[in-house]
Amino acid sequence: MTSKFTRIILATAFAISVAALAQTGSAAAKPAAGSSAPPAPAATTTGTKVGTINLEQAIFATNEGRRDFEALSKKFEPKQNELKGLNDEIDGLKKQLNTQGDKLNDDARATLVKQIESKQKSLDRSMQDAREDFQNQQGEIMQRIVPKLGQVLVKYAGENGFSVILDTSQTWPQGPVVWWGESVDVTKPVVDAYNAQSNVPAPASTGAGPAVKPGPMKPAGTATNKPAATSTKPADQPK
């Protein structure tokens, strides 16, 4: 599921990229100062087709996105291991309290409880800091990719007769699309066009396989979540 942070990045960066394209088109339509040449016609949408794209999936599916997000996940592996170690230590102390608590005197039991509470607070703070750091760096990657992806999408739509392309990153009712068919989804061809334009090779670690989206920071390890795949099922069902 797309986080609120990710949705804000997607909406803001994509809107800015499309608006920049519109301004570029308007500027291109104006003749240069002192020029008698007629202005070039502004780009207009003449298509009638409606399409969909999973912007979040597209970002993580690009070669550039896969490369950068894999590098980010690798970068945070030591922190993941550190959090896991602290979490395991707390679990051990809790187990000790449960199994030996009735055999300890009041002072020893209070010391153990205080130790658990202190370590738990430290873990919570470390997890929050790591999560925010991870999300910020993830957002920086998205901010680099989304504007360029928006340009590719606008170009693709114009060349292929689309008048409307809707984002399906969020399932209904959080998203606007109740249902869509695979035949109208343009995620893959837009990603292919992006990869061809960027000239970034597919990461060697995953080859041509599906992209893997970095998950939230967890003490339990480095497990990641795959972005939802395009589906012909109603959008209110998990894809």
Is 184 a residue whose pLDDT tops 60?
yes
pLDDT of 125 above 70: yes
Q: Specify the DSSP element, H or E, that contains 163.
A: strand 162-167
Query: Which residues, in sequence order, are bridge partners of residue 221?
Result: 218
Q: What is the pLDDT of residue 48?
A: 86
Beta-bridge partners for 185: 52
d(CA 4, CA 9): 9
pLDDT value at position 231?
Answer: 37
Give the pLDDT band (50/70/90) at residue 37. very low
Q: Which residue has the higher pLDDT, 35 or 79?
A: 79
* Start-to-end CA span in the chain (Å): 10
Q: What is the pLDDT, as a whole number, of residue 101?
A: 77
Which of these, 75, 172, 80, lies nearest to 126 by C-alpha position? 80
- State residue 25's pLDDT score: 46
Give one DSSP letter per residue of 125-141, joined into a string: HHHHHHHHHHHHHHHHH
CB proximity list for 170: less than 8 A, separation 6 or greater: 2, 7
Which pLDDT value is given to residue 30?
47
More confident residue, 225 or 68: 68
Which residues are CB-contacts of 126 (< 8 A; sequence separation ≥ 6)? 82, 83, 86
Residue 50 near residue 164, CB atoms below 8 Å: yes
pLDDT digits (tens, 9 = 90+) for 77-97: 999 999 999 999 999 999 999
- Res. 197 pLDDT band, cuts 50 70 90: very high
pLDDT for res 67: 96
Q: What is the pLDDT of residue 172?
A: 86
Longest dimension (CA), the chain: 96
Q: Who wins on pLDDT, 21 or 68?
A: 68
Examine the pLDDT at 11 and tell me if it is beyond 60. no
Question: Confidence class of residue 207 from pLDDT cuts 50, 70 and 90?
Answer: very low
Contacts of 235 (CB under 8 A, 6+ apart): 168, 171, 172, 175, 177, 178, 179, 180
Lowest model confidence (mean pLDDT) among 40-54, 55-69, 90-104, 132-146: 40-54
User: Pick the residue with more confidence: 26 or 199?
Assistant: 199
* Mean pLDDT, residues 33-52: 60
* pLDDT score recorded for residue 176: 85
- Using pLDDT thresholds of 50, 70 and 90, give the confidence band for residue 15: low
Residue 14: the pLDDT is 57
Q: Which residues are CB-neighbours of 128 under 8 A, at least 6 positions away?
A: none
